[in-house]
Chain A
Amino acid sequence: MVKVVGCVVRMRMCNKILTGVTTLLLLASMGRAEVQVFARVDRNQAQVGEQIILTVAVVSQKPLSVQVPPTLRISGVSCSQVRGPVTSDEMSISGGRLLRRSTAEYAYFLTTERAGEIEIPAIPVAVEGTQFLTQPIRLTVGKSPVLEAGGPVQVRVNVSRTTVYQGEQIIVEYLLYEEAVASSRIQNRQLVRDPSFLNFWAETLEDIRRQQIPTRRETINGVAYNVLPILRYVVFPTRAGTLTIPSITVSLVAALPTGARTIWGEPVLQPRQISVNSPERTIESRALPANPPAGFSGAVGSFSIVSEVDKNKVAEGDPVTWKVIIEGDGNVKSVGDLRIPDLTDFRAYDPKTTASFTLAQGAVRGKLVYERVVIPLHAGISQIPGTTFTFFDPRTRQYKTIAVEAKKITVTANRGAVARTSGGGQMLVKEVGSDIRYIQPDVNSLDDESWRLTDSPFYWVSYGLPVAWVLLAFGVRARRIRMGANPARMRALGAAGEARRRLKAARLAFEKNDVHGGIQAVANALTELVAAAANTTAAGLTSSRISEVLSEKEVPEDLRKEVLATLAQCDEIRYAPTSASVDDAKAIYEKGLDLVRQLLRYLVP
């Protein structure tokens, strides 16, 4: 026996070595291939119920987008959801070149279900959108020994009742019994085959794979067992007759006695992969009495019904949540739609129905909640109608109909309430199909639309305007800066401008026959021009000072005399206005205009 075990161990080692060598060879060939996709298993030989790890590897020169099937359908093997990827990058230098290898590995956990030759087919793998196939792999699966009944490990089935009416509740429990003394030598327990309920409506209450279920200890015929609940269902027969509660298979590794004993007299133990089947149980399902009442939808059990609203007094247009709750030990999921009368006083939204089962004190109770939001349409007393529910009670062996009364709701007036609608409910408008939109038949749309503004040279020429404006502004600014460096010229230019403005004012005054004002403006124009040239104020200028200033500015003597004479004439007219006519004044204006022009030649540098 020891030799046999040794052989098995060596075979498994050889398999692992071969798998490793294959992987290395494939990696070594990476220099030639761009993407390499292959599959491998951790071992090719196993027994029924044992787990095998199938790895799909994608080796490439850079990380790529890889898609593998989420799970696999292989005859004789159950497969887990894919796990991974586990990625790795390897850099190496070969022949002076830097080689990079990126590996992504995806793992599937396979559990063998039958003995014989099993082939894992080629697995499609999409790498960057391109399909690759792995090589097929063959597995040799041997039978695992089945534990005889009454042994140290058993799977039992408990059913709450064996004779029921069709649709009546039965609680089914699958329990793993392990001898307390052997329990510590058992490991790797796995549920290999789930029960397949035919002719039953089955609801899972507990599943050890999803939740912790407490164990207990039982003594049977003087032998202590650890009892591990595996599955618990509530089932309802869907037809009458003799029905079978299906069996399940549990796989585990147990150190079992070989029959031999050590020299100390202790039994020799050997770890063995074993499968344990539960026995099948039969139950008798009786047909329901004939001629059920109207409204019976198949509910069997004992039920109660309640109708409730979240508020009894609301404003017109405010929503009210209305619930009808059916509770009992029957299959609430098979109740079907409640017979709800029309809600004429309300606008009603689509109902929401939820059903659930709870296990308490060894009994299963179901709860069905029918929930609907309703909105009263008008003020006053609105009534949510009552409803009835019919079921078959197996205890009394009679059909029963229970009812809830109507609910009255006081609705107060509300100006902003919704308008009354004729229908009792609403439907969400949904898009039920899609297609292209219709053609555009307008013949006026045949105008050439390919014209682009940027194709026109005028568009680009028009950019010259802002550019010219900015250049002009730059020029003016530069000139101003340049002129700012010569204050005398600036002053003289300013005075020239002022003189022109005063002469203009004089002309306007003469047009209004204002001789005094016009002459005053002409005199001011001349004196202020001279004052600006002398960098002084007009108030302090006398005739002699004016003569000096003009002389300094190299104004010819004739022009100087003319200026002084004109100023004298102005003074004369100003102080004796009646002595001059408008024509005389205009003549002086013309003279002043001419003098200002001539003086500017000498006074502005």
Chain B
Amino acid sequence: MKRTVASVFLLVLILAVARSSGASNPGPARLFNEGNAAYRQGRYEDAIAAYNKVLAGGVRSSAVYYNLGNSYYRTGKLGFAILNYERSLRLDPANDDTRHNLRFVSSLVQDRVLVSSFELKFQEKLSQFLGYTNPNFVAVILLLAVFVSAGIGGLWLLGRFRTRIAMVIFVGCCVLAALGASVMAGEKWAADEGRTGIVLADQTNARFEPSETSRVVFVVHEGTKVWLIRRDGGWAFVRLANGLRGWVQQGAFEMI
């Protein structure tokens, strides 16, 4: 009898421990739902905490970043909102809701950066175009184009399928393959060279040199997008969309 009671007690204890450990480390879905519920009730700080826990668990979902951006916007943190919308777009470039919210929140930030030179405008347009393309889709298209063009080319070498339609398909696939390769190269450039960040500080001075005593080149405010050129100590040399460059404190912005 005593053994039975002890066994039951042990079983209950194990279940309790398991339950408590589960409660302290809930699944991403549960945290996500908690964040959604907090958002619906207007508890935006709680929603931010829940969504951040989902991300801390290793989940990389555009919906989480999107909801996090909404929550930050509701708390008035435009910089964080824009940062998370940008991150959401990286994962799901075609999401219309994210694009709308990003456009809307960007219209509220204080800085208006006018792009003047042709080169910068081209870079801006290229970044926008690459932002709309799905990398996996481009990769599949490129692979298919290479397969078809190689197949037709091989048959041509063997003296088969030497027709006008084959020539048209071959040229078309070659062009498609070249475009696909260009887009993939552009995405690689965007990932490597075009590293962008969002200013999170209310206001920060960009200086000629990485020093607080240096002269101010320009002043940027929360939510403005910057391109990181290089780092030096606690400073980062950044560029704006209009070409202005200066040194800002690294803590003033966060990379997308």
Contact = CB atoms under 8 A, between A and B. Distances in A.
Interface stretch (A71-79, A198-206, A298-306, A465-473): A465-473
Interface residues of B, number: 46
A472 B53 CA distance: 54
Centre residue among A439, A453, A465 by max chain B CB count within 10 A: A439
B219 to A, nearest CB: 9
Contacts of A465: 147
Centre residue among A443, A449, A474 by max chain B CB count within 10 A: A449
B158 A440 contact: no
A331 to B, nearest CB: 43
A340 interface: no
A441 B66 CA distance: 10
B66 A469 contact: no
Contacts of B190: none
A460 B105 CA distance: 40
A430 to B, nearest CB: 17
A447 interface: yes
A468 B68 CA distance: 48
B165 to A, nearest CB: 19
Contacts of A443: 29, 32-33
A450 interface: yes
Interface string B74-100: 000000000000000001100001001
B66 A440 contact: yes
A44 B61 CA distance: 68
A446 interface: yes
B97 A462 contact: no
A437 interface: yes
Interface stretch (B6-14, B134-142, B226-234, B248-256): B134-142
Interface string A122-154: 000000111000000000000000000000000
B56 interface: no
B184 interface: yes
Count class of interface residues, chain A: 35 or more
Nearest to A442: B63
B62 to A, nearest CB: 6
A579 interface: no
Contacts of A449: 60-62, 91-92
Contacts of B157: 470, 473-474, 476-477
Given A65-B116, A436-B101, A470 B60 contact: no
A454 B104 contact: no
B196 interface: no
Given A448-B60, A467-B150, A459 B66 contact: no
A128 B218 CA distance: 9
A434 B104 CA distance: 8
Given A443-B32, A449-B60, A463-B143, A437 B135 contact: no
Centre residue among A434, A440, A454 by max chain B CB count within 10 A: A440
Contacts of B114: 65
Nearest to B240: A129
A453 B63 contact: no
Nearest to B112: A129
B236 interface: no
Contacts of A578: none
Contacts of A65: 114, 116
A306 to B, nearest CB: 49
Contacts of A440: 63, 66-67, 97
Contacts of B28: 446
A435 interface: yes
A435 B66 contact: no
A436 B70 contact: yes
B154 interface: yes
Contacts of A463: 143, 146
B146 A466 contact: yes
Nearest to B97: A437
A357 to B, nearest CB: 42
A476 B156 CA distance: 12
Contacts of B147: 465-466
Nearest to B101: A436
A65 B92 CA distance: 37
Nearest to A467: B150
Contacts of A426: none
Contact of B184 (A437, A441, A445, A454): A454
A439 B36 contact: yes
Interface in A211-255: none
Nearest to A65: B116
A438 B61 CA distance: 17
B136 A453 contact: yes
A463 B146 CA distance: 8
Nearest to B37: A441
Contacts of B29: 443, 446
Nearest to A476: B158
Given A436-B73, A445-B62, A462-B143, 10 more contacts: A129-B218, A434-B104, A437-B100, A440-B63, A445-B63, A449-B92, A454-B184, A463-B146, A466-B147, A477-B157
22 contacts: A65-B116, A129-B218, A436-B70, A436-B101, A437-B97, A438-B70, A440-B66, A440-B67, A441-B33, A443-B29, A446-B61, A446-B63, A447-B61, A448-B59, A448-B61, A449-B61, A449-B91, A454-B184, A466-B147, A466-B149, A476-B157, A477-B157
Interface of B: 28-29, 32-33, 36, 39, 54, 59-64, 66-67, 70-71, 73, 91-92, 97, 100-101, 104-105, 114, 116, 135-136, 139-140, 143, 146-147, 149-151, 153-155, 157-159, 184, 218, 244
Nearest 8 interchain pairs by C-beta: A466-B150, A473-B154, A450-B60, A473-B157, A445-B63, A449-B91, A440-B63, A453-B139
